[in-house]
Amino acid sequence: MEGALKEGERWLLPGFIDLHVHGGAGADTMDGGDAVARLARLHARHGTTALLATTMTAPLDEVRAALDALAAHCQARPARAARVLGVHLEGPFISPRRLGAQPDCARLALTDTLHDLLARAPIRVLTLAPEEGAHLALIPWLVERGVRVQLGHSLASYEQGVAALEAGATGFTHLFNAMSPLQHRAPGLVGAALAHAQHAELIPDLLHVHAGALRAALRAIPGAYAVTDATAAAGMPDGEFALGRQRVFHCAGGVRLADGTLAGSALTMDQALRNLVQIGLPLAEAAQRLSRHPADYLGLQDRGRLVVGAWADFVELDADLRLRAVFVEGESIELES
């Protein structure tokens, strides 16, 4: 794949798969209605061919309503949009001491609550803080029901992180962000990921994580993959937007709360690809971090790769890695001019 293109030649890559998307085009997953279709169309125009609609921490009634609204979008793909593969439930089962940009509505997970939520929509990924309540004991229960448990928004120690992996957790939510950091005598959740993980999310907007830390994680974690953590601000001009119950501000390329805390991003996956190449990854590896690795994480052999029998999800890029064409399940997506 590497090497200079001749005039008129293009790169053909598998479509991008984003497992952590809150919004785009001014729409937020917690809004209900046509919000998910709007954000899925925006991200398709930036090369994302499949995604997980990601919820925010909120009171349970709001989480239930969001899941009820998302369920229909998981069953049928809107025209000109990315396929919604299911839901990433990012809260409310997180640490109230590591909320990041999540609203202060964290709560402990209980089996009755989880039963109810799992019945409403296909939850493919669930983020929790393993040190809270009985969360560690609930991990095998969730895994048995086909949920991939990710560790995040957590103050877990290294030992608690390793115990969660041994219990069946398989990923880390936006590695480095909103979790106990790596220190040489207290390795924290970041240390558990770097030492033991096969998979982890990374936000390569070059704001959430320093390029050196990105490279360290990509070297240590074989199946680490890029996510956008995109908010309603993605694809929009600077301004004020909703992120669940929070008000966030898109300015200078980032999305922040009023106090300056990073609050998701305005990143799209085509820009994530360019950023990974910019920090030194070969294009072939960068492409895999946006396609094959997230597909493998979800156990999908028919997406994230250009092979006979896979969905016709692919992108065409020029020598500057700018999108020239996107196909989602064989449908040509009209790009922004």
Position 214 confidence tier, pLDDT thresholds 50, 70, 90: very high
Q: In this structure, is residue 141 part of a structural domain?
A: yes
Task: Write down the pTM of the prediction.
Answer: 0.97
Q: In this structure, is residue 85 part of a structural domain?
A: yes
- Amino acid sitting at position 4: A
**CA dist., res. 335 & res. 181, Å (int):** 40
* Residue 229 appears among annotated catalytic residues: yes
Q: What phi, psi does 289 have (nearest 5°)? A: -70, -15
Task: Using CB atoms within 10 Å of the CB of residue 195, give its burial: 0 to 12 exposed, 13 to 18 middle, 19+ buried.
Answer: middle
Q: In this structure, is residue 3 part of a structural domain?
A: no
Position 8 confidence tier, pLDDT thresholds 50, 70, 90: confident
Q: Assign residue 276 a region (left: φ > 0; alpha: ψ between -120 and 50; beta: otherwise).
A: alpha
**CA dist., res. 94 & res. 300, Å (int):** 27
Nearest to 237 by CA among 264, 258, 266: 266
Percent of the chain with pLDDT over 70: 98
Q: Which two tokens stand for residue 136?
A: 């560690």
Q: Which residue has the tokens 């301004």?
A: 239
pLDDT for position 337: 60
Q: In this structure, is residue 109 part of a structural domain?
A: yes
Q: In this structure, is residue 248 part of a structural domain?
A: yes
Residue 184, domain extent: 11-332
Average pLDDT of every residue of the chain: 96
Q: In this structure, is residue 117 part of a structural domain?
A: yes
* Domain at 19, CATH number: 3.20.20.140
Position 22 confidence tier, pLDDT thresholds 50, 70, 90: very high
Summarize pLDDT for 77-135 with one digit per residue, the tens: 999 999 999 999 999 999 999 999 999 999 999 999 999 999 999 999 999 999 999 99
Q: What would the mean pLDDT of 35-52 be, rounded to a whole number? A: 98
Residue from 31, 205, 229, 296 carrying the catalytic annotation: 229
Summarize pLDDT for 251-310 with one digit per residue, the tens: 989 999 999 999 999 999 999 999 999 999 999 999 999 999 999 999 999 999 999 999
pLDDT for position 9: 87
Say if residue 4's pLDDT is above 90.
no
pLDDT for position 1: 58
Summarize pLDDT for 128-137 with one digit per residue, the tens: 999 999 999 9
**CA dist., res. 15 & res. 290, Å (int):** 8
Q: In this structure, is residue 337 part of a structural domain?
A: no
Q: How many domains does the chain have?
A: 1
Say if residue 7's pLDDT is above 70.
no
**CA dist., res. 195 & res. 63, Å (int):** 34
Say if residue 5's pLDDT is above 80.
no
Position 2 confidence tier, pLDDT thresholds 50, 70, 90: low
Q: In this structure, is residue 2 part of a structural domain?
A: no
